[in-house]
Amino acid sequence: MSIIKGRVWKYGDDVNTDVIFPGKYTYTISDPKQMAAYALEDLDPKFVKNVKPYDIIVAGKNWGCGSSREQAVTCLKEIGLGAIIAKSFGRIYYRNCLNAALPALTCAEAVDAIEGHEVIEVDLVSGIIRCAAGAFQFPPLPAQVMSIFEAGGLIPYTRKQLENRRSFNEKRLK
Amino acid sequence: MGQTFAEKILASKVGLKETVPGQIVEVVPDVALSHDNTAAIYGIFKRMGGVRVFNTEMHAIILDHATPAANTEHAENHRIIREFVKEQGIKYFFDAGRGICHQVLVEEGLALPGEVVLGSDSHTTHAGVMGTFGAGIGRSEMASIWALGKLWLRVPESLKIVVNDTLPSGVTSKDLALRVIGDLGADGGLYMSVEWHGEAIKALELSQRAVLTNIAAEMGVKNSYILPDQKTFAYLEGRAKRSYEPIYPDPDADYVRVVEYNASMLEPMVACPHTVDNVKPLSEVKGKHVDQAFLGTCTNARLDDLAAAAEVMKGRHVASRTRMVVIPASSEIYMEALRAGYIETFVNAGAMVESPGCGPCLGNHMGVPAVGDVVISTANRNFQGRMGTRESEIYLASPVVVAASAITGVIAYPKDLEETKP
């Protein structure tokens, strides 16, 4: 799991969440499987038809700007996307990725070097992206955030914290 | 070295003397804001093993995204939320019809100086108009707050925008906001805390200041802050739900960037399709035909926005090949607009006035565009497909420009109407 190998889908700057997951579906579709069918609908209709698990999105600056909708991450997580590498991310989008345990990596040099459709490798543990043009280092995640990532995302992390609190309270009552 | 507003408030929330940008802190928010997405958050909360929420007084739940319900799915969604509110004993719940969450939070005295509001909506930055730290978060994060009562935040770098002098007549805070976003770009404030300083900001009424804190989300900021003053405190009298302690940045605080503007040099601006930072002076786009004008949203549908638009439209009629939709931001504003006669002016002018809520802003209902339509709107977003179909164009402007465009049927400035006497 620490090494992700996949084909690149390359996109430009300022791709917003409305084109990653259209707003008109946000209150009517709640099943992640259905969400996956509309991923990038307004950006690249070929994406959903051809994407494979572990594929990697490589984008310019400010990927995922705009609305806070988590479905714009959920739909890609459901597809089994391996990672997103961008020059920068929309703030909430970045948080949503980490909370869903979908690797969101910031590495401008790698984005410039990687070609569309090539197969690349990301090593999350050593923090290295390997592509045809060479190897690139990305900054590691902050330790506090890493614990959420290691738990498999914010949902399992919160579940574990709640269980810990409950068993602590039960012990105290005994 | 002094501290910025963000560094200071996050330090105070975790009991530290100071914090530095990049530091991660676990914060207990004063308010956890959610809207029609509350039902979805409840689903995640249950998947987390949540049974009872951590603090029933921390929540503010305001239905606004599809109110009144646009179809059965939306109605069911609202029903689930009402059941959740009853079952958990949520203290601050505002049902469909009260207004748009960001506006209602301010009116209800729940966005207070020196407090932290985290909301599962990207325009939660709006709360900064009251000197509040308001930041948008995701749904899972909100569910985690419901369960654990806290969330991790990264202390942001700060951007200081200083606006000197005063705005010329006919130039509004929307024009200032669009100018700034156009200059700095959609990622110009990414991850940052933006502070609005200067005499032009002090001179603005709260409702016009709110445009700045609301739309700042469109340049990627974490929060957007205006120094609370006598106007803020006077507004909160009789409204504030708790006693509060304002927090101000130190004069010698460290900013990553300081940008200065001279307000007197500004002119009316328009954000063109399909990004908010594609900003042009009105003079470059005037004359473009519009199929629909929309005066509404949390950005620009407060009483003085409606008043300014009504003044333009009084005794005139919406152009024959153009439609106009007006949606006041809250029921309080709606009532005041009724009493002041603005609603009558809009209806007489042929506009459709709808009940408070987000309406067509995100393509749900009450005035979505047809394929090929050109819309001029007072909203904060013009992304492709935002209002429903990607085959439409959305221009963003101030209320007076939207009103003048509705009357002439083309993008226009109010002074263009002077020749056409009512």
Q: Distance, in angstroms, between B284 CA and closest chain A CA?
A: 24
Mean pLDDT of chain A: 91
Q: Which of residues 343-372 of B touch A (CB under 8 A)?
A: 362-364
What is the number of other CB atoms lying within 10 angstroms of the CB of residue A30? Answer: 16
- Probe site for chain B from A43, A77, A154, A167 (most B CB atoms < 10 A): A154
Whether A59 and A132 share a structural domain: yes
Smallest CA–CA distance from A61 into chain B, residue: B187
At B113-139, the pLDDT tens digits run: 999 999 999 999 999 999 999 999 989
DSSP percent split of chain A into helix, strand, coil, nearest 5:
40, 20, 40
Cβ–Cβ of A16/B383 closer than 8 Å? yes
Smallest CA–CA distance from A142 into chain B, residue: B24
Q: Distance, in angstroms, between B317 CA and closest chain A CA?
A: 32
Whether A40 and A93 share a structural domain: yes
Whole-number percent of chain A with pLDDT over 90: 67
Whether A85 and A149 share a structural domain: no
- The pLDDT, as a whole number, for residue B196 is 98
Whether A7 and A92 share a structural domain: yes
Cβ–Cβ of B43/A30 closer than 8 Å? yes
| Phi/psi of residue B141, nearest 5 degrees | -65, -40
Whether A109 and A145 share a structural domain: no
At B202-252, the pLDDT tens digits run: 999 999 999 999 999 999 999 999 999 999 999 999 999 999 999 999 999
Contacts of B121 in chain A (CB under 8 A): 68
Cβ–Cβ of B122/A92 closer than 8 Å? yes
- The pLDDT, as a whole number, for residue B421 is 55
Cβ–Cβ of B148/A158 closer than 8 Å? yes
Whether A77 and A96 share a structural domain: yes
d(CA B389, CA B368): 8
Average pLDDT on A144-155 reads 86
- The pLDDT, as a whole number, for residue A113 is 97
Which residue among A14, A22, A157 places its CB closest to the CB of B187? A14
d(CA B312, CA B299): 19
Give the number of A-B residue pairs with CB atoms closer than 8 Å: 126
- The pLDDT, as a whole number, for residue A1 is 53
Q: Tell me, what amino acid is at B26?
A: E
Q: Distance, in angstroms, between A32 CA and closest chain B CA?
A: 12
Whether A152 and A117 share a structural domain: no
Whole-number percent of chain A with pLDDT over 70: 99
Smallest CA–CA distance from B48 into chain A, residue: A159
Mean pLDDT of chain B: 96
Q: Which domains does chain B have, with CATH numbers?
A: 5-261 (3.30.499.10), 272-417 (3.30.499.10)
Contacts of A95 in chain B (CB under 8 A): 137-138, 141
What is the number of other CB atoms lying within 10 angstroms of the CB of residue B252? Answer: 8
Whether A72 and A152 share a structural domain: no
Smallest CA–CA distance from B361 into chain A, residue: A23
Band the pLDDT of B22: cuts 50, 70, 90.
confident
Q: Tell me if residue A46 falls in helix, strand or coil.
A: helix
Cβ–Cβ of A62/B136 closer than 8 Å? no
User: Residue B100, Cα to own-chain centre: how many angstroms?
Assistant: 9
| Core vs surface per residue A57-82: b (16+ CB within 10 A) or e | bbbbbbbbbbbbbbbbbbbbbbbebb
Average pLDDT on A137-148 reads 79
In this prediction the pTM is: 0.89
- The pLDDT, as a whole number, for residue B8 is 98
- The pLDDT, as a whole number, for residue A37 is 93
Cβ–Cβ of B386/A18 closer than 8 Å? yes
Domain that holds residue A97: 3-139
- Probe site for chain B from A20, A65, A93, A168 (most B CB atoms < 10 A): A65
Total domains present in chain A = 2
Smallest CA–CA distance from B37 into chain A, residue: A27
Whole-number percent of chain B with pLDDT over 90: 95
Whether A156 and A131 share a structural domain: no
Would the pLDDT of A135 be above 70? yes
C-alpha distances (whole Å) from A156 to each of A72, B76, B341, B370 are 20, 28, 54, 43
Q: Which of residues 275-314 of B touch A (CB under 8 A)?
A: 275, 277
C-alpha distances (whole Å) from B261 to each of B4, B141, B159, B199, B330 are 20, 36, 14, 11, 32
Band the pLDDT of B419: cuts 50, 70, 90.
low
Average pLDDT on A139-143 reads 73
Cβ–Cβ of B48/A162 closer than 8 Å? yes
Average pLDDT on B352-356 reads 98
Whether A165 and A109 share a structural domain: no
Smallest CA–CA distance from A164 into chain B, residue: B148
Band the pLDDT of B201: cuts 50, 70, 90.
very high
**B43 shares contact with chain A (CB less than 8 Å):** yes
Average pLDDT on B39-65 reads 97
Whether A56 and A70 share a structural domain: yes
Whole-number percent of chain B with pLDDT over 70: 99
d(CA B176, CA B270): 11
Whether A88 and A101 share a structural domain: yes
At A38-86, the pLDDT tens digits run: 999 989 999 999 999 999 999 999 999 987 788 999 999 999 999 999 9
d(CA B110, CA B90): 14
**CATH number of the domain where residue A54 is located:** 3.20.19.10
> Tokens 């978060």 — which residue?
B137
Which residue among B77, B138, B388 places its CB closest to the CB of A92? B138
Smallest CA–CA distance from B71 into chain A, residue: A28
- The pLDDT, as a whole number, for residue A139 is 77
